[in-house]
Amino acid sequence: MDILIIGEYSGFAKELKKGFDTLNHRACIVTSGDGYKEIPFDRDDIKFRKEKTFYINKSPIPLLLNIVAFCSNLVLNLRLIFRFKRYKLIIVINCEFLTVKMYRKVGVYFRILNLLLKDKGKMILSACGDDTAFYEFPSHMKFNPYANNQANYLPYVENKDYASLYHWTVKHSDLIVPIMYDYYAPSCSFVKEYKYNTPVTKPVFLPFSLPHLDSEMNYDSPLKKIIVFYGVPRANNKKRLKGSNYILEALDIIQKRFPNSVEVRVVTNLPFNEYMKQLQSSNIVLDQCFSHGLGVNAVMAMSFGKVVLGGNSEKNINVFELDSIPVIDIKPSVEQILHELESLIREPVKVGILGNQARKFAEKHFEPSLIASKYLDIVFNT
């Protein structure tokens, strides 16, 4: 089966493609490499560069840049068309990777999607990242970071190009597949509010290839020094959405309280491969404190057998129909994050035990071929 994956977020598409390949399907990713993260891609994938959005006015510079965007769009979309390949399944990671106006933003032109689908082919929209539904129904957030400042998310609701593209994609998709409760609930509200017939499935975990661990953890031997890792999002709206200010303040206090037994590593703007090396050498990883569910950092860290502090609400656990998920739930509270970190640092033997639980959970739930088979089962057997 030929499968087209449009877009890339932190290796999501790359790992999903691995799963389809393992199942003997042929997947191609249309990818920008997720910007500075420089996510690796295969020779048979289609790489493009995301150009900034500019509006044509009397200034020659924006006009020139719009011409560049148009030419880039033309090359990208002609490459797709002249592959002369039609796909049984198209997965749109996010509407961000589609475009309505060829001179505005580089992406797959939404009008060619039907041309790329085989007869009786299916198109699904993954609910992840920033999208209109997520921001239009903020009541589903565990904690709303924009409660007192709506200006940061209104563009996703009021921007006519993006909003109309999101509505079009939802309307023309066969399914919406969320990655966690944070996207499941607003997607359900969105299709209900606008009376779309597109079904929203139960969430499916993000895939991640399980790395080989050199040796079993020694649970009876406490760590001499605990390495705590946090990757700071680059964009300011992402920092706010993930609660970076609370996490960074807590980490600063922890480093001062335990200068000899703890090493705090905070990184930003690292390419994906370098980021993975930093994560792999740590013991505790912080993900985010505003979410109900597991972000990509949590999924990667659990696969490496790390203790994860992040989103893990009862709503998210229940929607996956699980009894528990081995992640320490944190909230936008410096005191609460401090408490959870201190309890681990004062009893370091717990780090190995909880890390082992995380790894075993990852083995059971995150393996790419397992996730890929779930997508195929959802799309073609329900």
Range of the domain at 61: 2-207+368-380
**Same domain, yes or no: 154 and 246:** no
Chain segment 223-251, per-residue pLDDT in tens: 779 999 999 987 666 677 788 999 999 99
Give the pLDDT score at 243.
87
Residues 201 and 234 in one domain: no
**Res 54: pLDDT:** 45
Query: Alpha-carbon distance 304 to 121, whole Å?
Result: 36
Asked, for residue 215, whether it belongs to a domain, the answer is: no
pLDDT tens-digit profile of 16-71? Answer: 999 999 999 999 999 877 777 778 787 888 887 765 544 444 444 555 557 777 88
d(CA 310, CA 242): 9
Q: Identify whether residues 98 and 50 lie together within a single domain.
A: yes
Token pair of 253, please? Answer: 């206090």
The count of domains in the chain is 2
**Under 8 Å between Cβ of 266 and 253:** no
Which residues are CB-contacts of 193 (< 8 A; sequence separation ≥ 6)? 137
- Whether 138 and 12 map to the same domain: the answer is yes
Do both 342 and 374 map to the same domain? no
Task: Say if residue 186 is in the same domain as residue 286.
Answer: no
User: 123 and 186: one domain?
Assistant: yes
DSSP reduced 3-state for 121: strand
Task: Report the C-alpha gap between 238 and 231 in whole angstroms.
Answer: 12
Distance (Å) of CA 291 to CA 208, 236, 296: 20, 17, 12
Rounded-to-integer distance, Cα 380 and Cα 382, Å: 6
> Could you say which residues of the chain have pLDDT below 70?
50-65, 103-104, 145-159, 214-222, 235-238
SS3 227: strand
Cβ neighbours of residue 63 closer than 8 Å, sequence gap 6 or more: 56, 57
Buried b (16+ CB within 10 A) or exposed e, 36-46: ebebebeeebb
